[in-house]
Amino acid sequence: MPSFKPAYLICGDDHGRIGERRARLRALAQELSGSGGVEVLEGEDAEAEAVAAALSAMTLALGRRFVIVDGAERLKERDVKAHLAPALASLPDGTTVAFFAREEGRTKAPDALHQAVQAAGGEVSHESGVKPWELAGWVAKQAGSLDLSLGARAARLLVAQVGERQQRLLRELEKLSLELGPGASPSAEDLEERAAKSAERRVWTLADALVARDRARAVALLLALRAQGERLPSLLYWATQRLRLALEVAIRLAAGEPPATVRRSLRMPPKAAERFVSDVGGSDPDHLRAALEAIAQLEVDSRGGGTLEEDTAALLAVEAVCA
């Protein structure tokens, strides 16, 4: 049986890697202690005082108890000192608490949490992405590990074409390795022909497929985007924005506002606006509200609130939105 420390803080700006570690810990915890031995705290339940109360609460779970705390980047320094630090200093035997902080810019796990985890005999792990100016070198190094020879110019071209997400870049390198074979030296032409374009346009296309209730297209785009390393939270963000706009348009159309007036008010090219309003015309406001609820539930599930694997939950949500 693996040994566990009393506390962990996993933080950094590599959100994909943090999500992977969280999913792996939860799966291992459920395997060892059953679902009754694993608690996931998020939202209001992940605030410092609520986490402290959960850690000190009695439990009937057999074996080691695991408490997973999401959103630790939102904790306040003073609240950690007042509530969490004392709770971590007196953790019951057989309890492991893991804090996950998806950091970005100035939004970071407070220093007091770092100190409290370490003082409790725990471990702090940083999962940080490669800086943008270091990506070309990282790409060249990863290519070498796959028996590809990629020069500096080609590495920069790949980053410019595919984008800055490390997971997506690694998937493209793996595809190149399979297609070109060991020892290949991809040229700029190879990269332009074979490597995926930036995913931004395809993300919007997925959102529009959901608005149009085009199930087959939405499923195909979702699978393609996930295969090239797109994170589900990012996809959900854009889908939510598009569905909210669709709901606004549907309400205006239902109130009798002329489609031409609605089209002119949208901040998008005329042809795109015409297609968008046409797509929305096939959905009533109630359906779009239900679609937004399905996406919101998927976000909760993807953060540990559900029992299904992330991609399975995403496919079911697409089915619900396109129904």
Q: How far is CA 138 from CA 155, 158, 167, 265, 301, in A?
A: 9, 12, 12, 44, 33
Report the range of poorest mean pLDDT among 50-64, 141-155, 195-209, 280-294.
195-209
Name the segment(s) of the chain with CATH classification 1.20.272.10. Answer: 200-322
| Edge-to-edge order in the sheet of strand 7-12 | 38-41, 65-70, 95-102, 7-12, 123-126
Does CATH place domain 7-126 in 3.40.50.300? yes
**10 Å Cβ neighbour count for 1?**
6
Contacts of 68 (CB under 8 A, 6+ apart): 22, 25, 26, 29, 38, 39, 40, 41, 97, 98, 100, 304
What integer pLDDT is reported at residue 323 of this predicted model? 82
Strands, E, within the chain: which ranges?
A: 7-12, 38-41, 65-70, 95-102, 123-126
Report the range of poorest mean pLDDT among 18-32, 39-53, 75-89, 229-243.
229-243
Q: How confident is the model at residue 200 (pLDDT cuts 50, 70, 90)?
A: low
Q: What is the pTM of this model?
A: 0.51
Name the segment(s) of the chain with CATH classification 1.10.8.60. Answer: 132-194
Across the range 138-167, mean pLDDT stands at 83
- Burial of 72-81, coded b for 16+ CB within 10 Å and e otherwise, reads bbebeeebbb
Q: What residues pair up with 212 in beta bridges, in sequence order?
A: none
Higher pLDDT among residues 16 and 106, named by residue: 106
- Average pLDDT over all residues of the chain: 85
pLDDT over 80 at 7, yes or no: yes
pLDDT over 70 at 1, yes or no: no
Nearest to 113 by CA among 71, 56, 54, 64: 71
Name the segment(s) of the chain with CATH classification 3.40.50.300. Answer: 7-126
Task: Determine the CATH number of domain 200-322.
Answer: 1.20.272.10
Q: CA-based diameter of the chain, in Å?
A: 67
CATH class of 132-194: mainly alpha
Q: What residues pair up with 48 in beta bridges, in sequence order?
A: none
pLDDT over 80 at 29, yes or no: yes
What integer pLDDT is reported at residue 60 of this predicted model? 63
What integer pLDDT is reported at residue 195 of this predicted model? 65
**10 Å Cβ neighbour count for 292?**
17
Taking each helix axis as running N to C, give the angle between helix 270-280 and helix 200-211, from 0 to 180 degrees, rounded to the nearest 10: 40
Q: How confident is the model at residue 52 (pLDDT cuts 50, 70, 90)?
A: very high
Higher pLDDT among residues 88 and 169, named by residue: 88
